A and B are shown apart, each in its own frame.
Chain A
Amino acid sequence: MALRKQGVGAQEIALAARIASNARIFMDEEETIDLAGFINEFMGYADELAGVAVSAGGEPSLGSPRARAREDAVRRSDVRDAVLDAAPTRSGSFFVVPRILDPQGEEGSL
């Protein structure tokens, strides 16, 4: 898909690269330039709302006035095994993630 002319500058591209990194999405150079143009257009929409008078400090609307908050308690899942089985890798009753601390460290360095 051809990129449309975005007319974005170096600063906007640097911002887009930072945003992609914060969103934990790898983007190559072409995608980053495309994102910079997208963010510009997107902020145009956001800025449009700046002219609307609102009362400060309002709570976001949930949309369902009759919804009841569920009890804040531990609930047993009857699909735990099935969910773990559907994961890319499982180890016993855990999901597997790459080592977080000391990636070059030795076995058991956690």
Chain B
Amino acid sequence: MQLSMTAAETARRVSEGELRPLETVDVFMKTAREREPNLHALLAVLEERAGHAAERLDASLSRGEGPGPLSGVPVVLDDGICVRGTPTTCASRMLEGWIAPYDSAASEMLDSSGAIICAKGNMDEFSIGCSTETSAFGATANPCDPGRVPGGSAGGCAAAVAAGYAPLALACDTGGSLLQPASYCGVYGLRPTYGLVSRWGVAALAPSMDQLGILSRTVEDAALALSVISGHDPRDAMSSPGDRPDYMAAVAVPDGKDARRPLAGRRIATVAEMRGGSDLAGACREALDRTLAMLAEAGAELVEVHLPLSFNHGLACYQVLLAAEASSSLARFDGVRHGLSAEADSLNSLYLGTRGKGFGREVKRVAAAGTYILGSDRYEDCYLRASNVRRRIVGELLDALAGCDLIALPTTPTTAFRRGEFDGDYFGMSLSLSFTVQASLAGLPALSFNAAGAGELPAGVQLIAPRRGEAGLLAAAAAIERVRASRDEAGERRSER
């Protein structure tokens, strides 16, 4: 078995009896043991649970029971996703030693699809941060360059997928927490439409934006995982009902007249406000240009949209709403219900002591700022105003998407930054989310893929679709993957001659 085996290939081989589930778990464990001392992508390795799951799957396959779509596929979950009976810390001292008493919807669905949950990924503490450096249990290195960050908050999951531990990981995206690490580590990152995937059992940061998403090494694997985890769940109040298209059909190789130009008739827009921007690194601009050329080659018509509000004020709007919602979400950590509890002789000193000791610096600052703007002094001119600006941003994005099928833009303004580069500079580091907060504010689906030149640091490009437009995103990314593959083949033929 090779490290580079995709989820689809693993599931096929396990289903056909060519590969035993225990073998896939062994490969995961071996890779993790080799790479972890240098990467620190994981907070917990669930070796025993994974072994039992593999044995159960083996037994059910030998009884002739039908295989699931992810049979034997090792998966990493970020440490904000509960798996019953295992530690879930959100990378915080506050939850050190806490054992999740229930399963998340995602872990239930993975279990019943035959996937094997092997580990919990490192992250920024309670998802607050963009580098995985705020983890209370130590930072994660970027597998492409250990001197650089993997991004965050889902840096551990992105690093684990990029380093070949597992073909798939699930993590929560709030303002780019999954897309930005995907860009920095050179893997696919899919943030689904708000409400498409249940967040039951996932620690909340900013519930009006939080969405569970997928990290993978191929677009087909992203489609496969989305087919498994999407769907209505009444336990998540924001989960929305509705039919789901066939995501696997969206990434299938087209035949007949569509084969060469599968995106014919699709209008894909660039953002006017971004093309002139001086904050965009050359490598990221080139990644976008390269992608646009491939989209055109696949038959897409390139157009331009104007999104002045979203790009000039999106980040400020996000910062205000994030802090407000985070302060509310983090209020549940009170020393009474879960995790750390300080010695105290009154309720107030219990709160103060527990939260003072359990939260790291960044979490304290953001929770405090959120508390301030939710207070009567600042509520109207901060929180309510940001909520209203958000309505306008949502309107602007939906209007733009009424005139095109997808929007294409760099996922991040730069490639991965160096470890320690932003030492405590929360706002400076947050600029790395400048192009991902827009989809979050509007609840739109976005898909990031690596479009860096050969031998360069990863540089992601993302496509944004209308709500429930995942099939269109996957189809476009699959078309790009095929254009790139055919170019690589042509290049190899040339070099052979």
The answer to whether the Cβ of A49 comes within 8 Å of any Cβ in the partner chain is yes
Q: Collect the chain B residues with CB atoms within 8 Å of residue A98's CB.
A: 344-347, 349-350
Q: Collect the chain B residues with CB atoms within 8 Å of residue A43's CB.
A: 382
A97 in contact with B424 (CB, 8 Å): no
CA A27 to CA B368, docked complex, whole Å: 10
B337 in contact with A95 (CB, 8 Å): yes
A26 in contact with B338 (CB, 8 Å): no
Residues of chain B from 195 to 253 with CB closer than 8 A to chain A in the complex: 195, 208-209, 234, 237-242
Chain B residues at the A interface, C-beta cutoff of 8 Å = 98-102, 194-195, 208-209, 234, 237-242, 309, 313, 315-317, 319-320, 323, 327, 334-341, 344-353, 355-357, 359, 361, 364-365, 367-373, 375, 378, 381-382, 384-392, 394, 423-427, 441-443, 467
26 sample A-B contacts, Cβ–Cβ < 8 Å, listed by A number: A1-B424, A24-B334, A25-B364, A26-B356, A26-B357, A35-B365, A49-B382, A49-B389, A54-B385, A58-B387, A60-B208, A63-B209, A63-B442, A64-B195, A64-B443, A67-B240, A68-B241, A69-B237, A83-B337, A88-B336, A98-B345, A98-B347, A99-B346, A100-B346, A100-B347, A103-B346
B361 in contact with A34 (CB, 8 Å): yes
Q: Is the interface of B mostly helix, strand, loop or mixed?
A: helix
Q: Collect the chain A residues with CB atoms within 8 Å of residue B378's CB.
A: 46
How many residues of A sit at the interface, in one of the four size bands? 35 or more
The 8 Å CB contact of B353, one of A21, A26, A65, A70, is A26
Closest to A99 in B: B346
With A52-B392, A58-B391 known to touch, is A42 a contact of B323 (CB < 8 Å)? yes
The contact string, 1 if C-beta is below 8 Å from chain B, for chain A 40-68, is 01110110111010111011111111111
- A54: min CB distance to chain B, Å: 4
B346 in contact with A70 (CB, 8 Å): no
B425 in contact with A4 (CB, 8 Å): yes
CA A2 to CA B443, docked complex, whole Å: 38
19 other A-B residue contacts (CB within 8 Å) besides A39-B368, A46-B373: A23-B367, A25-B359, A45-B319, A46-B385, A49-B316, A49-B389, A56-B388, A60-B390, A61-B390, A63-B195, A63-B238, A63-B441, A65-B240, A82-B101, A87-B337, A88-B338, A89-B341, A98-B347, A100-B346
- A106: min CB distance to chain B, Å: 15
- B279: min CB distance to chain A, Å: 16
A86 in contact with B99 (CB, 8 Å): yes
With A39-B369, A64-B194 known to touch, is A87 a contact of B313 (CB < 8 Å)? no
B381 in contact with A50 (CB, 8 Å): yes
The answer to whether the Cβ of A14 comes within 8 Å of any Cβ in the partner chain is no
Nearest first, the 5 A-B pairs at minimum CB distance are: A26-B356, A82-B101, A88-B341, A66-B240, A63-B443
